[in-house]
Amino acid sequence: MAKTSQVLSRVKVDPSEPKHYFLNIALNTAKGVGFIADTNTADVLVVQLDSGKIVHRVPTPNSIAAVYNPARNEVYVTHRNARQISVIDANTYSLKHIIKTAAMPNSMVLSPDSKTLFVSVKQDEKANKADYVLKLDLTQF
């Protein structure tokens, strides 16, 4: 028999902004915040998980994916159209690094030891090159 889940609560994030298109969220449950990737508006939104209140906006291009790394207390965010990946300090919410890519970064996964980030990268529709996966050594940043 399959288990079912129930919705515990719903919160509206920034209801005054109708253009949001939230794609992904990275959770820092120890701090009680989420980092929301929004493909329609600039900025990564840092929100309180219990209320949905925006506590900070990290200035970035439109975002696709977000991953939290508890070992390094960093958040990685892909910006497909800008062809870059942002590294955000999860304590100060400041931008630590920008990693430029030759094509469009999409989804990410963190290695079990939290030292390597794998990023799927798409080519432009008109490109004749193959898609690929970046392997980033996070100890070099």
Domain coordinates in residue numbering, the chain: 22-140
Confidence at residue 7, expressed as pLDDT on a 0 to 100 scale: 80
The pTM for the full model equals 0.90
- Check whether 18 has a pLDDT greater than 80: no
C-beta of residue 15 within 8 angstroms of C-beta of residue 7: no
Q: How confident is the model over 41-57, as pLDDT tens digits?
A: 889 999 999 888 999 99
CATH number belonging to domain 22-140 = 2.130.10.10
